[in-house]
Homo-oligomer: A and B are copies of this chain.
C-alpha cells in the first residue's frame, strides 16, 4: 500500500490463467511457450503473473496466452486486472521503447474460440467516475460480441478475439480521459455448462 501515482503511460495486467484440468501445469507452460512476450516486462509467482509495457502489447499477450490455452479444448479461464497510470514505479519502463507492432496477432488469427467474459471499469480519483464510464464506452458498436448487464460487471459473449478487442477499446477510451484506470475481467471458455 505504498504505491504512488506516476506520470508514465505504462500499462500493466496482473492475471492468472486457470486450466480446470489435471494437466494444468503443461497447459500453462505450453501456452506461455507459444506466446511471444518479448515486448513486455514479466514477473510470475505462484499466485499470478504481472506484465507491463505498452497497452497494445499488454492486450496482445494476455489474449494470446488465453487463446493458446483454450485451444486445448479444456475448460480454461483467466481472471485479472488491467491497470494504467498508477502506480508509478519504474519496473518495465524500458519496454516503453518497443515498437507498436503486436507480436502474436498473426499466430492467433486462425484460432476460433467462443468464450464468456465479465469485466468492470474503475476510473480512479474522479468524483464523476460513473459519467466517465457511461460517456466513454459505447458498447453498441462492439461488433461480434453480445453485450449484457451483470451484477457489478458487463458481460460479453462471442469470439475471444472480439472480446479482447472490446476490452482493449473500452479501456483505451476511458484512459484517454482519466489518468488512472483499472479494469477487472474474467474470461471463460469450454465450460461444461455450455456443452
Q: What is A's interface to B at a CB cutoff of 8 Å?
A: 1-5, 12, 14, 16, 18-22, 24-25, 43, 45-48, 50, 52, 75, 77, 79-81, 83, 86-87, 89, 91, 116-118, 120-122, 124-127, 129-130, 133-134, 137, 139, 149-155, 182, 184, 186-188, 191-194
The reply to whether A47 and B152 form a contact with Cβ atoms under 8 Å apart is: no
Can you list 21 A-B contacts (CB < 8 A)? A2-B134, A2-B149, A3-B130, A12-B151, A18-B77, A20-B20, A21-B21, A21-B22, A22-B22, A46-B116, A47-B77, A47-B116, A47-B118, A47-B186, A48-B118, A79-B186, A87-B152, A89-B151, A120-B182, A122-B182, A124-B129
Contact partners of A137 in chain B: CB under 8 A = 1
The reply to whether A14 and B154 form a contact with Cβ atoms under 8 Å apart is: no
CA separation between A194 and B47, bound complex, in Å? 11
The reply to whether A118 and B151 form a contact with Cβ atoms under 8 Å apart is: no
CB distance from A190 to the nearest CB of B (A): 10
